[in-house]
Structure 1
Amino acid sequence: MDKIKVLEKYLPGGAAPLVGRWIDYFKCEFKISRSRNSKFGDYRPPFDGKGHRISVNNNLNPYAFLVTTVHEFAHLHTWNQHKHLIKPHGAEWKSNFKKMMQPFFDQQVFPADVKSAITAYLNNPAASSCSDLNLYRSLRKYDANHATATTVEKLPLKAVFKLKDGRVFRKEEQLRKRFRCIEVSTKRIYLFSPVAEVELVEVA
């Protein structure tokens, strides 16, 4: 199947042709990956005979998929310019990320709320769109399960919850941006993002 038609299944309307041109121009292997809890996307520079490789999670909504795709292509472009001589998310990457996002602003592919959140994020992009809570929340609103998803910030204090891997935690106080949580079985302390998806455990 033509790559543009495949990309159109994951990207907002009008965005696929430019992403397709990037794939060709940069001679990049672009993979739509299964969901990964630790990251939305990934970039790997040329190594051991392989060229540029980018992967983006297949379960992202179209706007999150596009933001992640631009993020990873900005890494690729920055690597071509500077190799490993700079910080991964330094000024050079930030500049490229802004430039590569602009065509999608020009095409008006984002809803107003997402565009506003991206604009604020672009003033000082972080290492991950997940780490900017305003942008993350704006993107999450377009997830199919947004209304039913349970996040740490929605739970009351002392609530017990579990992760997909079965580990069980108790929610404690908020420390700046994250919540202190105690793993019930080990009593170890972990810091959770407010928007981490969890499952509430009913305690008898």
Structure 2
Amino acid sequence: MDKVKVLEKYLPPEAAPLIGRWIDYFKCEFKISRNRGSKFGDYRAPHQGKGHRISVNFDLNPYAFLVTTVHEFAHLHTWNEHKHKAKPHGTEWKNNFKKMMQPFFEKDVFPPDVKHAIVSYLNNPAASSCSDLTLYRSLRKYDAPKEDIHTVEKLPINAVFKLKDGRVFRKEEKLRKRYKCTELKTKRVYLFSPVAEVELVEG
């Protein structure tokens, strides 16, 4: 099946031809991956005879899929230019991400709120894209509704919630950017991102 047709199932359709051309141009193995709770996408540099490899979670909404794809291609492009000399989300990567995002801005692919969040993220070199909560929240608005799934920040203090692996926690106070949560079984304290997805335990 034509790769552009496959990409159109995951990306805004007008973005698919350019991503298809990038896959060919950079000779990249591009994989649509199962959900990985800890990350949306991944880039692997050439190693032991394998070329560039990018994977992106299959269950992202089209705008999140595109932002993640461009994010990973910017890593690839930065590796081609600088190898290991550039920091993962350093200035070189930021500049490439900005340049590679430009064609999609010109095509007006993104809704205004997402575009605004990307632009403000790109003007804030301190944030890595995974921890940029404004961008993450604006992308999440376009997710299909998920029953019984909440973000930690939306739960009341002392709410009890569980993760996919079955571990159960109680939400406590906010410490700077993250929430302190205690695992009920072990009494160990963990720090959770405000946008971590969890299931509320009725009690």
Q: Deviations over 1:145-167 (max 9, x none)?
A: 26863111111111111001000
Q: Is structure 2 residue 169 aligned with structure 1 residue 165?
A: no
Q: Deviations over 1:96-121 (max 9, x none)?
A: 00000000000000001111111111
How far the C-alpha of 1:202 sits from its partner, in A, is: 1.6
Report the TM-score when normalising by structure 1: 0.96
Q: Is the 8 A contact 2:148 2:200 kept in 1?
A: no
TM-score between the two structures when normalised by the length of structure 2: 0.96
Map of 2:48 onto structure 1: 48
Q: Deviations over 1:71-100 (max 9, x none)?
A: 000000000001011211111001000000
* Deviation of the 1:124 alpha carbon: 2.5
Shift of 1:127: 6.6
Mapped partners of 2:25, 2:108: distance in 1: 23
Following TM superposition, the consecutive aligned residue runs of length 4 or more in structure 1 with deviations greater than 4 angstroms are 125-128
Q: Secondary structure at the match of 2:84?
A: coil
Deviation at 1:128, TM superposition (A): 4.6
Q: Which runs of 5+ in 1 are unaligned?
A: none
Instruction: Quote how far apart the aligned CAs of 1:125 are.
Output: 5.1
Taking only aligned residues, the RMSD between alpha carbons, in angstroms, comes to 1.3
Percent pairwise identity: 80
Bigger shift: residues 83-92 or 3-12:
83-92
Matched residue type, 2:190: Y
Q: Distance in 2 between matches of 1:116 and 1:185?
A: 42
Is contact 1:94-1:124 (8 Å) kept? Answer: no
Uncovered stretches (5+) of structure 2, i.e. residues with no partner: none
Residue in structure 1 matched with residue 31 of structure 2 by the alignment:
31
Whichever residue aligns with residue 180 of structure 2, its letter is R
96-105 vs 123-132, greater mean Cα deviation: 123-132
The alignment of Structure 1 onto Structure 2 pairs a total of residues equal to 203
